[in-house]
């Protein structure tokens, strides 16, 4: 990986539309915000609050649930925004698939036997945030 989060040998997605095209073809796929697959393979995943060792990589699903009846880009924007706070100069979003071996403390899937599918340009997270703010009601708890 270079400093821009581009992973060699896999597509680098530059828009929500690019990500949507990938999700329509490859399923199931997940997003992870980290220093990348090489860094993740070198260390064990831990729950930061408890210190517990996790049996797999913590990810967020990009493949929508069957009940989702809105545009795919809306799902993707919401999913990217859920963990966008993890993005930093050292951490970037990337797409992967693998076998679910459990759930993390926030009920997120934990993956093993992962395959890297693509990296996501940091600008896509900005686009996701704009889409999220435009099409959702952040903070509305239904009361």
pLDDT value, residue 48:
87
pLDDT value, residue 86:
86
Please, which residues have CB within 8 angstroms of residue 143's CB and are 6 or more apart in sequence? none
Question: Which residue matches tokens 């989060």?
Answer: 5
Q: Residue 140 has which token pair? A: 């509305």
Q: Residue 45 has which token pair? A: 């995943």
From CA 93, how far away is CA 125, in angstroms rounded?
Answer: 8
Ordered by start, the domain boundaries in the chain are 12-135
From CA 24, how far away is CA 119, in angstroms rounded?
Answer: 16
Angle (CA) 26 97 15, round 5°:
60
Nearest Cα to Cα of residue 97 among 37, 14, 140: 37
Question: Which residue matches tokens 């040998």?
Answer: 9
Does the N-terminal peptide bond of residue 28 adopt cis geometry, omega within 30 degrees of 0? yes
pLDDT value, residue 142:
66
DSSP-derived 3-state class of residue 136: coil
pLDDT value, residue 43:
83
Q: Which residues of the chain have pLDDT under 70?
A: 1-4, 139-143
pLDDT value, residue 1:
46
pTM of the model: 0.91
- Yes or no: say if 85 and 27 are a contact pair by the CB < 8 Å rule: no
């Amino acid at each position: 990986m270079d400093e821009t989060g581009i992973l060699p040998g896999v597509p680098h997605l530059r828009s929500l539309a690019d990500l949507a095209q990938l999700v329509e073809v490859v399923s199931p796929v997940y997003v992870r915000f980290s220093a990348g697959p090489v860094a993740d393979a070198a260390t064990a995943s831990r729950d930061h609050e408890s210190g517990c060792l996790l049996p797999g990589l913590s990810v967020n699903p990009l493949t929508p649930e069957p009940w989702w009846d809105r545009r795919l880009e809306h799902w993707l924007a919401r999913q990217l925004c859920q963990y966008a706070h993890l993005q930093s100069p050292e951490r970037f979003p990337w797409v992967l698939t693998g076998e679910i071996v459990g759930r993390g403390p926030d009920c997120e899937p934990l993956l093993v036997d992962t395959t890297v599918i693509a990296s996501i340009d940091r600008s896509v997270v900005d686009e996701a945030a704009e889409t999220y703010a435009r099409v959702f009601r952040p903070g509305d708890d239904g009361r």
